[in-house]
Amino acid sequence: MELLSVNNSKAFVAERNQSLPSIKSSELAEGSQRPIQSENQDKVSISESARAALASSLGKELHDDQSVAQSKATAVESQDEQAKQKIDEIIAMLKKQLDELRQALQALEGDNTEVAAEKRKALESQIGALSAQLTELINQKLELEKKNMRENGR
């Protein structure tokens, strides 16, 4: 019997048999498919206190690793959610501005003066710019949602 010390506080006891089974060279050359079996198997036993310490240590490491991974995932999800909320707020603001510009444009419908024509041109230009911004924000929001779906699907 041989006593092995691990971590200065846990002990493993191992029984060893130094003899190895003999293998015929003809068995190796033939590529035998049968498993090699030893007559005397090595045995290892762990004391109950060592088992408890090992389970506690490994369990804590696994739990800590999982907690860190979950924290990182939650932080990323939180950032994505905040970004989506900001995008939603800006989208709502742009929609409101577009409605106001369209109403102003509609109010100029019956006016055929040169000043009204210039105002219509300026309003149409602003409506075009806001529409482009709105489209870009909607695309960004869709990309965030696709990213979240890919990450949650893993």
Cα-only R_g, the chain? 37
Distance CA 40, CA 17 (A): 7
Q: What pLDDT is attached to residue 32?
A: 47
Low-confidence residues in the chain, pLDDT < 70: 1-41, 58-60, 62-65, 67, 154
Q: What pLDDT is attached to residue 140?
A: 92
Q: What pLDDT is attached to residue 110?
A: 87
Q: Which of 144, 133, 120 is nearest to 93 (CA)?
A: 133
pLDDT in tens, 114-130: 999 999 999 999 999 99
Read off the DSSP letter of residue 36: P
Q: What pLDDT is attached to residue 4?
A: 44
Q: What is the pTM of this model?
A: 0.50
Distance CA 21, CA 5 (A): 28
Q: Is 108 exposed, middle or buried (0-12, 13-18, 19+ CB in 10 A)?
A: middle
Q: What pLDDT is attached to residue 34?
A: 52
Distance CA 79, CA 133 (A): 22
Q: What pLDDT is attached to residue 7?
A: 45
